[in-house]
Amino acid sequence: MKLGLFISIILIAITLLGGCAGKQPVSPTQSPSPAGEQDQVIYGKIYPGEEKTHEVIVGNVTGVSFELKWMVHELGLSLTTPSGQPYTICGYSGGTCGGTESSCIIADPEPGKWIVHVKALQVPQSGKDYLLLVSFGRYINFSLFVYPLMYKPGEPIRITAGSSPRTGGPGLDEGTTEVIKVVSVAADIVTPGNVTERLILYDDGHRGDFQAGDGGYTNVFTDTSSPGIYGISITASGTINGVKFQKRDATLVLVSAPPDLSVDAYDIVFSDDNPYDGESITITATIHNIGKGDAPNAKIWFYYDQRWSGDIAIPFVDVPAGGAVEVKAWWVAKAGDHNIYVDAINQCTIDEQNLSNNEAHRAIHVSTDMEQ
């Protein structure tokens, strides 16, 4: 299979997965900056209420990009220029789950020390891993591709790097094609235990590579026994239109056992078991996770009688492995006999193996004025 077809299949699959899988960010790759300045990959972890800062020295380059990447929840990215001015013109891509990215791309940046601010906007108590990719120079069409972004322990991760099937772009005239000759591509994998392992990627038709000589460099990482976040970065060296380059790109991958969300009828409690028509009552549901993996940003769907037409509320919660979380919704009661349903939907990690215990309901009678 040609690399262009393979990458096209990846991008179509990500699009179809929508919010759950999010969009696999294809990092804007850059040409080399002047000597002494190379692309940087910085890993970090942030906790609720925190703001982390990173200092980056920028020289006389044509452009610089700051890309913040994480999985699930929400982080904020902003910059301070060397002259002390705030810079907040940053883009955002991604969905409820999967690879999420905020990026600031700056042409002709002010030389000097830039301060990168990473802010925890919605982060669990256990913290949130992130990576910051700093790239210098103009756009080069060579990127890292890892799909999917979530794996079970022991499941191999296929790592590919190459050019996407496109021409033009920042720094290129539309319709022109860059001639990229790659000398070497290496992947560095940072495990949850903070151990870095290196893999050489090959374009030889082996080690997970679909076809020799198609421009896609691949290898398979198999040491995924430990659950947690893995940081994967590549360093590519070669020439582009005869000019030497060294380029980095990076992403995060989650390795986790599947969760098992569970709710039963006795887990659903009403603030008033016999409300009257028009009364606002509180519905409390206790959501359990009896699996071995966390369920971040699980969707809890409250509705009465029929989904969609009877929607009450759809909050999102983190349910840790072996734990339980109370979730509340408020409902203006409607006269008659109803069933109140609660459906716990795992959407941001490894698929559950047991879906039979994810939904429960309780009956409730709402009195009319004449019954009062």
Phi (first) and psi of residue 82, to 5 degrees: -55, -30
What's the rounded mean pLDDT across residues 320-337? 96
What's the rounded mean pLDDT across residues 102-118? 95
Tokens matching residue 291: 């699996």
In this structure, which topology does domain 261-371 adopt according to CATH? Immunoglobulin-like (2.60.40)
The per-residue pLDDT for 202 is: 96
Helix or strand holding residue 4 (H, E):
helix 3-21
Place of tokens 């020799």: 212
pLDDT digits (tens, 9 = 90+) for 31-72: 343 334 689 999 999 999 999 999 999 999 999 999 999 998
Kindly provide the residue ranges of all beta strands, DSSP E only, lying in 91-127, ordered along the sequence.
91-93, 99-107, 112-122
CA–CA distance, 291 with 322 (Å, rounded to integer): 6
Whether residue 116 contacts residue 109, with contact meaning beta carbons closer than 8 Å, is answered with no
Q: Return residue ranges of the chain for CATH 2.60.40.10.
A: 261-371
pLDDT confidence tier of residue 179, bands split at 50, 70 and 90: confident
pLDDT digits (tens, 9 = 90+) for 198-222: 999 999 999 999 999 888 999 999 9
**What does pTM read for this prediction?**
0.81
The DSSP annotation for 21-60 comes to: HB----PPEE---STT---EEEEEEE-TT-EEEEEEEE-S
pLDDT at residue 293 greater than cutoff 80: yes
Q: Return residue ranges of the chain for CATH 2.60.120.380.
A: 3-255
CA–CA distance, 145 with 266 (Å, rounded to integer): 46
Is the domain spanning 3-255 CATH 2.60.120.380? The answer is: yes
Tokens matching residue 127: 């913290």
Q: Is 306 helix (H, G, I), strand (E, B) or coil?
A: coil
Phi (first) and psi of residue 73, to 5 degrees: 70, -160
Whether residue 156 contacts residue 224, with contact meaning beta carbons closer than 8 Å, is answered with yes
Whether residue 6 contacts residue 218, with contact meaning beta carbons closer than 8 Å, is answered with no
Whether residue 169 contacts residue 177, with contact meaning beta carbons closer than 8 Å, is answered with no
**242-265 exposure pattern, b = at least 16 Cβ within 10 A, e = fewer:** eeebebbbbbbbbbbebbbbbbee
